[in-house]
A and B are shown apart, each in its own frame.
Chain A
Amino acid sequence: MKLARTEKKLSQQELADLCDVTRQTIGLIEKGKYNPTLNLCIRIARTLDKTLNDLFWDEGNE
Chain B
Amino acid sequence: MKATNKNPFSKLDERNKQIAGKIMVVMYLLTILAMQGIILYRQLVLGQEWNDFRDLAILMTFNSLFLVSALLYYGAVQVRNLKLKSVLLIYFVLIFLGSLFTYAKYNLFRDDGLTWDQLWDKFVLIYIITGIILGFFILFSLLGRRRMEKEIE
Contact = CB atoms under 8 A, between A and B. Distances in A.
A21 B1 contact: no
- Give the dominant DSSP class at B's interface: loop
Q: How large is the interface on A (under 10, 10 to 19, 20 to 34, 35 or more residues)?
A: 10 to 19
Contacts of B118: none
Question: Looking at chain B, what size class is its interface with the partner chain?
Answer: 10 to 19
A28 B16 CA distance: 12
B83 interface: no
Contacts of B16: 22, 25
A17 B5 contact: yes
Contact of B4 (A17, A21, A25, A40): A17
Contact of B14 (A10, A11, A17, A40): A40
**Interface residue SS majority, chain A:** helix
A37 B1 CA distance: 24
Contacts of A16: 5
7 contacts: A10-B1, A14-B3, A18-B1, A25-B14, A36-B14, A36-B15, A39-B14
Top 9 A-B residue pairs of the complex, sorted by shortest distance between their CB atoms? A21-B13, A17-B5, A17-B3, A25-B15, A17-B4, A14-B3, A22-B13, A25-B13, A13-B3
